[in-house]
């Protein structure tokens, strides 16, 4: 075991930071017959998304193939900048840590009586799969429902800040209420908690959302966060990882593997569930080794 790996193991376990991420999906619009009818290159922020020959997924100088050989739907992944402290060079779903402003947005909506003396506004119950019960978060007391909506607001906020994509017209909580459970626009997918042996730990909550119709024009990557982005089927991304083309953290692999079980966006948004977490020591070892190596 290398010194750097020993050092990673010896770190005192950090308290996981609450975070949320959005798995954005879109219809691929391609079948096997379309394999050679590839779209023209187009720019998105600092990254150029374009297609190559035979639907391959390869990367060179920040240019990524958008074409996917499989029919069905595609997901959005972005490569984290090499200058970042956490997961540099890894392919991730857009997202980030929960902020006080996310909680303020929910609390302000609940307490806004518009000048009338009314009880607090109520929120539809969080989905059964949401395992947190509330408590003290960021030095304030929150209910289970407040925490769920705060994470949902945070996920959609991060998505907009990092990619320019806006799933809803507004982050007003009243617009989010109808999609709390069983919604057809955004669905709570599940949770992953970074194991104690990993240096940077997160309690991450995943949401699935269908890309807006304007996604092609609106996609603008935050240059400080990402080097490039791609749309591809979950199967193709996992295949590319197997060949060593991408760095994927275990939770991302779990999410992509779970997505493979759903053949349509409609089915995914109605029934999609991330299976319960099962940590594998060998996989954790491999991940720690990846995060301690210089990324090219």
pLDDT at 290: 83
Q: Give the separation between CA 41 and CA 48, rounded to whole angstroms.
A: 7
Average pLDDT over residues 269-287: 90
Mean pLDDT of the chain, nearest integer: 78
pLDDT value at 40 more than 50: no
Q: Give the separation between CA 241 and CA 248, rounded to whole angstroms.
A: 7
Contacts of 279 (CB under 8 A, 6+ apart): 195
Lowest mean pLDDT among 27-41, 75-89, 171-185, 226-240: 27-41
pLDDT at 213: 85
Lowest mean pLDDT among 2-6, 57-61, 171-175, 232-236: 57-61
pLDDT at 242: 81
Instruction: Write the burial class of residue 222 (CB in 10 Å: 0-12 exposed, 13-18 middle, 19+ buried).
Output: middle
Q: Does residue 140 contact residue 93 with C-beta atoms inside 8 Å?
A: no
pLDDT tens, residue by residue, 151-189: 999 999 999 999 999 887 666 665 665 444 444 578 999
Check whether domain 3-291 has CATH 3.90.79.10, yes or no: yes
Q: Give the separation between CA 113 and CA 118, rounded to whole angstroms.
A: 6
pLDDT value at 69 more than 60: no
pLDDT at 176: 62
Instruction: Write the burial class of residue 175 (CB in 10 Å: 0-12 exposed, 13-18 middle, 19+ buried).
Output: middle
Check residues 58 and 20 and name the one with the higher pLDDT: 20
pLDDT at 68: 39
Reported as half-sphere exposure (CB side, CA atoms, 13 A), residue 226 has a value of 31
Q: Give the separation between CA 131 and CA 128, rounded to whole angstroms.
A: 7
Strand, coil or helix: 113:
coil
The single residue listed with the structure tokens 């779209």 is 39
What percent of the chain lies above the pLDDT cut of 70? 72
pLDDT tens, residue by residue, 42-59: 333 333 333 333 333 333
pLDDT at 59: 36
Taking CB atoms within 8 Å and a gap of at least 24, the contacts of 287-290 are 287/198, 287/249, 287/250, 288/5, 288/8, 288/9, 288/197, 288/198, 289/5, 290/247
Strand, coil or helix: 56:
coil
């Amino acid at each position: 075991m290398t010194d750097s790996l020993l050092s990673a193991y010896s770190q005192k376990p950090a308290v996981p930071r609450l975070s949320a991420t959005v798995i954005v999906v879109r219809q691929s619009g391609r079948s096997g017959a379309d394999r050679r009818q590839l779209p023209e290159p187009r720019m998105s922020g600092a990254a150029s998304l374009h297609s190559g020959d035979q639907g391959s997924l390869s990367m060179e100088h920040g240019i990524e193939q958008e074409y996917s050989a499989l029919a069905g739907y595609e997901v959005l992944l972005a490569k984290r900048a090499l200058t970042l402290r956490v997961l540099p060079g890894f392919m991730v779903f857009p997202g980030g840590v929960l902020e006080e402003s996310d909680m303020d947005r929910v609390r302000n909506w609940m307490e806004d009586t518009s000048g009338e003396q009314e009880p607090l506004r109520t929120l539809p119950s969080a989905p059964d799969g949401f395992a947190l019960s509330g408590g003290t978060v960021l030095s304030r007391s929150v209910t289970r429902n407040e925490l769920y909506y705060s994470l949902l607001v945070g996920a959609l906020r991060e998505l907009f800040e990092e990619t320019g994509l806006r799933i809803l017209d507004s982050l007003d909580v009243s617009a989010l209420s109808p999609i709390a459970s069983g919604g057809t626009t955004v669905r709570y997918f599940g949770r992953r908690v970074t194991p104690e042996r990993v240096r940077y730990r997160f309690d991450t909550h995943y949401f699935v959302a269908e890309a807006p119709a304007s996604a092609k024009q609106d996609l603008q990557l935050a240059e400080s966060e990402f080097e490039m982005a791609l749309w591809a089927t979950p199967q193709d991304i996992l295949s590319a990882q197997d060949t060593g083309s991408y760095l994927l953290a275990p939770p991302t692999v779990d999410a992509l593997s779970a997505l493979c079980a759903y053949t349509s966006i409609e089915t995914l948004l109605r029934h999609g569930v991330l299976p319960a977490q099962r940590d594998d020591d060998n996989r954790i070892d491999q991940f720690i080794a990846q995060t301690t190596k210089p990324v090219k």
